[in-house]
A and B are shown apart, each in its own frame.
Chain A
Amino acid sequence: MGLFDALLGRRAVKGPAASERLFALSTAYVTLQTEYSISSAGVAGIVFQPLATADFQAMVKDMVEVVKATASEMGASVESKDDDYGFRWLIVRDPQAAVEDLVVTINGVSSGVEDGGYGERLLCAVFAFKDSQGQPVNFIYNYKRGTWYPFVPADGAQKRSTERELQLKAQLADELPIEPELERWFPLWGIPF
């Protein structure tokens, strides 16, 4: 944002970054699986802010139909859920746990929202994984910045395992565009899957 915009208090909400940064997860997953035995939990979700307008709702309806059709071709299912903060989740489940298919489906949702002219409403996408002990590990993609960061919930309310997250950052630094500013590693509590 320029100085002039700051002076005048004018600012538009930022739109999403280029989508190839989302696809970086497909290649990074190979490393995750082979070197660190972290495997996909077969589920991913995308969060956006729904607007209570007819145009937006029509866009979402059309987009969900298209995404459901393509997902079922890959053997995946899509469901929609609203959370306590008024954000909408579209959750993709793939029984074969193919990360590539999940990424493609999630990208279908985000490009649908973007093509509808509402790209700035996209918040983030979450991909769920499990490590060799079965502990959940999430990777969150921030649409505004086009960066990834790990999110590992720990035991206890609103606790996260920062140590594990920093390890994952070091392990994947070459494969994924990791968010460099740690204060932007925003947690997502109560992920509905």
Chain B
Amino acid sequence: MVLTMFLLGLVYAVLIGALIGAGASGVTIVVVALALFGFQLFASDKIALSTMGARVVSPQEAPELHAIVERLCVQADLPKPRVAIMNTNMPNAFATGRSQKAATVCATTGLLAMLEPAELEGVIGHELTHVINRDVMVMTIASFFAMLAAVIIRFAFFFGMFGGGYGGGRGGRGGGQNEEEAVVLVILVSVLVYAISFVLLRTLSRYREYAADRGSAILTGRPSALASALIKISGTIERIPSQDLRQAEGMSAFFIVPARAKNSMMNIFADHPPLEKRLAALSRLEAQLQGTSH
């Protein structure tokens, strides 16, 4: 995981270098970047929740789910997050929120109907570990420059169409050539940054998922209950009609199982590690617990 983070940082440093090299003022870059970052950090969870149609529920409405969250919070020494329920048959769960105090844990009605209490506890433990590890914050920071690169590519494409006709007239002046070269360079670097960070982000996301599985197993002391939940959930997700899946696509980074039919070709780009590998990791934990943990 350290290597992935290092590579991401390196790639982003190249992007910033290229931007400054192209003559963009440092202040402009910082201001725009901070504004975008702030928006992403503070608004993304609310946007995600409302577009998904998730509803925050009171302890009276969902006593069992609240009780599970509460007990795990005591165990994890964590302030209680908001608890939300999403009305869909697709069994899944996710966590959002930039900090431990602003977190929301959401489960779908399909999940609540399908799992036994111990399995549900495993899934909630997984989501709470995302909250404990501040994964939303980590992934927002990590993916921020990838997003910036994507914005630059889009702008460059737009202005490139304009600039084509207009650049010719400027060609006579000294420096015009240099400027154009610099712009082309920024676009090239942005494309590269976007492509590389895409792969790195997916790798990072998979590490966070393993960490969340492990955290849940340690928190609940029942790795096999989570394994059983994952088997149940993934078995259903592949049978779910694609309309539901498309609607859920945007949230898949924080779902416990990616809301997308599995395709082995896309494995390296998948947000979550493959089920078999997660199950293998959990069964190693169970073996440790049974044998040598103490």
Cα–Cα distance between A11 and B51 once the two chains are bound (Å): 32
Q: With A9-B215, A11-B133, A184-B79 in contact, do A121 and B221 touch (Cβ < 8 Å)?
A: yes
- Using CB atoms, name the residue of chain A closest to B1: A8
- In the assembled complex, B218 has its CB within 8 A of some CB on chain A: yes
How near does chain A come to B205, taking the closest CB pair, in angstroms?
Answer: 11
Cβ-defined contact, A186 with B219, below 8 A:
no
- Contact indicator per residue, chain B 282-294, by CB within 8 Å of chain A (1) or not (0): 0000000110011
B132 CB contact (under 8 Å) in A11, A52, A189: A11
- In the assembled complex, B98 has its CB within 8 A of some CB on chain A: no
- Contact indicator per residue, chain B 141-183, by CB within 8 Å of chain A (1) or not (0): 0000000000000000000000000000000000000000000
Cα–Cα distance between A61 and B132 once the two chains are bound (Å): 33
Interface residues of A in 37-96 (CB under 8 A from B): 49-55, 84-87
- Using CB atoms, name the residue of chain A closest to B211: A9
Cα–Cα distance between A85 and B219 once the two chains are bound (Å): 14
Stretch at the interface among B11-19, B65-73, B255-263, B270-278: B65-73
How near does chain A come to B122, taking the closest CB pair, in angstroms?
Answer: 11
Cβ-defined contact, A11 with B215, below 8 A:
yes
Q: Number of B residues whose C-beta is below 8 Å from A?
A: 42
- In the assembled complex, B134 has its CB within 8 A of some CB on chain A: yes
Interface residues of B in 217-271 (CB under 8 A from A): 218-222
Interface residues of B in 56-115 (CB under 8 A from A): 59-60, 63, 66-68, 70-71, 73-77, 79-80, 101
- In the assembled complex, A157 has its CB within 8 A of some CB on chain B: yes
- Using CB atoms, name the residue of chain B closest to A8: B1
Cβ-defined contact, A9 with B121, below 8 A:
no
Cβ-defined contact, A8 with B80, below 8 A:
no
Cβ-defined contact, B289 with A8, below 8 A:
no
Cα–Cα distance between A85 and B294 once the two chains are bound (Å): 25
Looking at A6, A85, A124, A181, the one whose CB has the most chain B CB atoms below 10 A away is A85
**A-B contact number at CB 8 A:** 91
How near does chain A come to B253, taking the closest CB pair, in angstroms?
Answer: 15
- In the assembled complex, B281 has its CB within 8 A of some CB on chain A: no
Cβ-defined contact, A158 with B76, below 8 A:
no
- In the assembled complex, A177 has its CB within 8 A of some CB on chain B: no
How near does chain B come to A49, taking the closest CB pair, in angstroms?
Answer: 5
Cβ-defined contact, B220 with A49, below 8 A:
yes
Q: Number of A residues whose C-beta is below 8 Å from B?
A: 39
How near does chain A come to B152, taking the closest CB pair, in angstroms?
Answer: 27
Cβ-defined contact, A7 with B67, below 8 A:
no
Cβ-defined contact, A84 with B74, below 8 A:
no
Cβ-defined contact, A85 with B71, below 8 A:
yes
Q: With A85-B121, A86-B121 in contact, do A187 and B59 touch (Cβ < 8 Å)?
A: yes
> Which chain B residues border A49 with CB–CB below 8 Å?
75, 220-221
- In the assembled complex, A18 has its CB within 8 A of some CB on chain B: no
- Using CB atoms, name the residue of chain B closest to A160: B59
- Using CB atoms, name the residue of chain A closest to B70: A186
- Contact indicator per residue, chain B 114-152, by CB within 8 Å of chain A (1) or not (0): 000110010000000100111100100000000000000
- Using CB atoms, name the residue of chain B closest to A5: B133
A184 CB contact (under 8 Å) in B80, B129, B134: B80
Q: With A11-B132, A53-B290, A86-B118 in contact, do A123 and B71 touch (Cβ < 8 Å)?
A: yes
Cβ-defined contact, A9 with B220, below 8 A:
no
Cβ-defined contact, A85 with B117, below 8 A:
yes
Q: Give me 29 A-to-B residue pairs in the complex whose CB atoms sit less than 8 angstroms apart, sorted by A's number.
A: A1-B132, A6-B134, A6-B138, A8-B2, A8-B211, A9-B133, A9-B135, A10-B211, A11-B132, A11-B133, A11-B215, A13-B76, A13-B219, A14-B76, A49-B75, A54-B290, A85-B67, A86-B121, A86-B222, A117-B294, A118-B294, A123-B71, A142-B74, A144-B74, A145-B77, A158-B63, A158-B66, A184-B80, A187-B70
Q: A9-B207, A158-B59 are in contact. List 11 more A-B contacts (CB 8 A).
A: A1-B132, A7-B138, A11-B129, A11-B133, A49-B75, A51-B221, A51-B289, A52-B222, A121-B221, A158-B60, A184-B79
